[in-house]
Structure 1
Amino acid sequence: MSIWRAEWPWYVATFVIAERTDGLPKSYALSTYLIRAIGAEEAYLQAEALARTLGDSFRDGKGTVVRHECLGLADLDTLQEDEMKHGTHLLWTKWPSTEIPAMRTRNELSLFLPPVPPNAI
């Protein structure tokens, strides 16, 4: 029996985030979240609700105000797994260039960067 892609219980929502830092040009990021839903329409509604919560402002390590604003969904797709476990494949992103994406050393990975100061605005 085959299952249609929108019938899986897990979805991956990728949002476009605008980052504004005082004195610097606006930049953009993709931010990806896991959503559990019963069907594609519910996943979409949950993603839309989540998008409204993704704006944030904080001070970086230099005390400069950084603002994040969610501009909307870049993609919403099913994660074709019934349960989450070690090694579960989450996302495949087609690189929009023929250049090899930058790879990072251990200390450049987000997990190992210094924490953001807790003095959020």
Structure 2
Amino acid sequence: MKLRNRVAANIRDIRSTKALNQEAAARIAHVDRAHVGKIENARHAASLATLEGIANALDVDPTKLFGPRECEKVLAKRDDPNFRPSQSGQATTTTAKQREETCGNGRFHLSGCGGARTHPR
């Protein structure tokens, strides 16, 4: 993901989470609302001063605007060879010992859990 797109998405996500509309965020950041919209849509590159103003308006550290988004973190975990989704849908990471103890039906279990007999098929 290009940095401009990442910053745009982070601004949009944070602003939405804080229940601010573009107009309110722009007013607090002392920039035009249309400019905020173009930054959020990655149509305009913003200066560092503008990004700092937007970060202050959103009450976040400016570095938060450059960090990976939550969906990117999930994708990075998915590419980890130790990553396995659990039955509950939560992401988990297995250890080498757990991988060695994989049940015949493909589910992981810990030592002493009863193995494949205790897992639903």
TM class by shorter-chain length?
under 0.3
**Which of 1 and 2 has higher RCO (CA within 8 Å, sep 6+)?**
1
Query: Structure 2 length normalisation: TM-score?
Result: 0.18
Instruction: Select the structure that is richer in strand.
Output: 1
